[in-house]
Structure 1
Amino acid sequence: MQDPNELFQFETDTRLQDVQASVLVVALGGFIDAGHTQKLLAEHLLEAHESTVVASFDVDQLLDYRGRRPVMVFDRNHWASYADPSLLLHRVVDREGVPFLLLAGPEPDYQWARMTEAVIRLIRALGVTLTVTVHGIPMAVPHTRPLGVTCHGTNADLVPDNDPTFGSVQVPGSFASLLEYRLGEVGLDALGFAVHVPHYLGQTEFADAAVLGLERLRNATGLDLDATSLAVAAGRGRAEITRQMEESEEVAAVVHALERQYDTYLEGLRKRSLLATDLSDLPTADEIGAEFEAFLKDVTDDGPGDAGGATGRGV
């Protein structure tokens, strides 16, 4: 393995002792992020709190540019701009002045083993004692009921009273998942929250999921994080979804069917997790997808004006 220390460089002359923090939030995307949950949360943390860049990573060694081409703007007769990708470690300060770290940017395409070791070295150098991830996963649940969360961690003490949604399953790997796994191997604490996003809203910016992720992040770390603008965006998103439902009987009928099945399962399981039992009777994504095709097109075509709500951009 090449030297992991050569993957990053510090962007400040401040002594490492002065930029230390006990919490690291990792937001590097992955195989899936339903509702753009992680993206919305990371953007909100940087917009709502004071932050500085501590370190940057050499993306030329980590990214497949042809696999996900950066955006460029052509203006009449010349190239006007280039969306230069960046993978940065930020030092963010909560409302009480307590610092934490946020690693944000595109998920590495290459050198996962080396990148994992680089992050672990930064964690040790900067005094991090808990690493946290938040993202969204699509579920056959209605948006009108409380969202669920699948919790996972490097030891059982980090997820007390956890009622698992899943048993043992095989899933495509992600860098964040591998990082959590490696942290557990070396005895470092890591915790993750996968928010259950209604799969018919999985391609939109569903801010309700980001709000719940922020709440779980606050509870797990004790950080005093501002949720105001994210909550406002979530309210706007719910209003837009309601408007769309009122304009389409088919859409409303599908949501109401999900509500009835959700309530039936919840009652039958005596308030245990809805998805702790067989989902074979729930409608599939293909069945609901046909009903919601026009709905999602209308929602995503509204543009980015209400970023964070259901009117956000699709992927």
Structure 2
Amino acid sequence: MQDPSALYRFETDTTIDPASARASVLLVALGGFIDAGRTQQVLTDHLLGSHDHTVLASFDIDQLLDYRGRRPMMTFDRDRYTSYADPSLLLYRMLDKDGHPFLLLSGAEPDYQWERVIEAITGLISILGVELTVSVHGIPMAVPHTRPIGLTAHATNPRLITDHEAVFGAVQVPGSLSSLLELRLGESGRDALGFAVHVPHYLAQAEFADAALAGLAAVAGATGLNLGSDDLAAAAGLNRAEINREIAGSDEVATVVEALERQYDTFMQGRERPSLLATEISELPSADEIGAELEAFLKDVTTDVSRDATEDGTGTSGPTGPDDQPST
């Protein structure tokens, strides 16, 4: 492997000395194969737009990007080209609302040299004293936007996500650099965690700011950073109102949402009181609960049979003494 540190350089025009730019938290926002509801993008834009920051280091994107696979946009004005949206991969040093520093790695996900890039990021983590690496993105789920937003938490150590219940079992998914980074950090004994925010599948290709708001809250809770959610909450409210107007104008979509609401409510009721009809393995009642529910069911049946027998004049529903034994 070529020298990983040759992939990046510290900015010489920054007022911050890399030696004194230490921060305990690194947020990684490199896109990936999916970001439903533009969750990560909206969250990243919010952080850069509402927190003091400076570029600490930049990666040599020319070595890492497949330009023909995802061509950068250019502007053509009448008779000439006037601008080029050059891709970048930048490491920002930021301050939260209380003045505490943290780092944000944001930009185009590399197409090439993943392992070398991860070695470079790991080197930066060591140099800058990072203790926790965090990522957030959106995944499409069969959930309605009118109910509380869920998320799937994952981490290199279970102690980092003790407050979160597992949603999935073992599944195979396409890889991303952020996911591989988390895996490699875990293999080296470092702490890393991520949140996959559940975005309604009918909003997967649109902007769903509520998902970014949920992701921001999850990051703040995991890191203790004061990330200031007021602006994002206001934007989410406007976004939600626009979504509701769009849905109200389509009977077909409204029907889908109503069906998802019923499904969600039924599922949550099942979580509150597990039953014999639970559909998720993780939601199945215990043996004691099954026994208690069966006992209650048989008691109800016995009561109903006794009542029916009394009403039709046949007396009790079964023998009560020696003289009542049926003849053979």
Q: Shorter-normalised TM-score: what interval?
A: 0.7 to 0.9
State whether structure 2 residue 256 is matched by structure 1 residue 277. Answer: no
Aligned residue in 2 for 1:220: 222
Change (3 A) 1:252 1:130: same
1:222-249 Cα distance to aligned partner (Å, 9 max, x none): 1011112211111111111111222222
| Cα distance, 1:277 vs structure 2 | 2.2
Aligned residue in 2 for 1:159: 161
1:63 is aligned, of 62, 65, 73, to 65
1:210-289 correspondence runs (5 A):
210-270=212-272, 277=280
1:3-62 Cα distance to aligned partner (Å, 9 max, x none): 000000001364323211000000000010000000111111010000000000000000
| Cα distance, 1:171 vs structure 2 | 0.6
1:126 is aligned, of 121, 128, 139, to 128
State whether structure 2 residue 176 is matched by structure 1 residue 174. Answer: yes
Comparing 108-117 and 160-169, the one that deviates more = 160-169
Aligned residue in 2 for 1:296: none
| Cα distance, 1:188 vs structure 2 | 0.6
Change (3 A) 1:268 1:16: same
Report if aligned partners of 1:31, 1:174 keep a CA contact under 8 Å in 2. yes
Q: Percent identity?
A: 63
Change (3 A) 1:214 1:242: same
| Cα distance, 1:276 vs structure 2 | 8.2
Secondary structure of 2:272's counterpart equals: coil
Aligned residue in 2 for 1:110: 112
1:286-308 Cα distance to aligned partner (Å, 9 max, x none): xxxxxxxxxxxxxxxxxxxxxxx
Provide the aligned C-alpha RMSD in A.
Answer: 1.5
1:231-285 Cα distance to aligned partner (Å, 9 max, x none): 111111111111122222222111111100111111123279xx9828xxxxxxx
1:115-159 Cα distance to aligned partner (Å, 9 max, x none): 000000000000000000000000000000111110000001101
Q: Which runs of 4+ in 1 moved over 4 A?
A: none
Aligned residue in 2 for 1:32: 34
Report if aligned partners of 2:53, 2:95 keep a CA contact under 8 Å in 1. yes
Report if aligned partners of 1:164, 1:276 keep a CA contact under 8 Å in 2. no
1:150-199 Cα distance to aligned partner (Å, 9 max, x none): 00000011010331110011110000000000000111100100000001
Secondary structure of 1:80's counterpart equals: strand
> Structure 2: how far apart are the matches of 1:46 and 1:240?
24
1:17 is aligned, of 12, 16, 19, to 19
Aligned residue in 1 for 2:291: none
* One-letter amino acid of the counterpart of residue 54, structure 2: T
Aligned residue in 2 for 1:7: 7
- Mark the runs of 5 or more structure 1 residues left unpaired by the alignment: 279-315
1:205 is aligned, of 178, 184, 207, to 207
TM-score normalized with structure 2 length: 0.82
Report if aligned partners of 1:165, 1:276 keep a CA contact under 8 Å in 2. no
- The number of equivalent residue pairs is 276
Change (3 A) 1:111 1:83: same
Comparing 192-201 and 230-239, the one that deviates more = 230-239
TM-score normalized with structure 1 length: 0.85
1:39-118 correspondence runs (5 A):
39-118=41-120
Report if aligned partners of 2:91, 2:105 keep a CA contact under 8 Å in 1. yes
Comparing 155-164 and 122-131, the one that deviates more = 155-164
- Mark the runs of 5 or more structure 2 residues left unpaired by the alignment: 282-328
> Structure 1: how far apart are the matches of 2:248 and 2:74?
39
Report if aligned partners of 2:16, 2:56 keep a CA contact under 8 Å in 1. no
* One-letter amino acid of the counterpart of residue 124, structure 1: S
Larger Rg: 2
Change (3 A) 1:123 1:205: same
> Structure 2: how far apart are the matches of 1:95 and 1:267?
39
Report if aligned partners of 1:31, 1:173 keep a CA contact under 8 Å in 2. yes
> Structure 1: how far apart are the matches of 2:98 and 2:220?
13
Secondary structure of 2:179's counterpart equals: helix
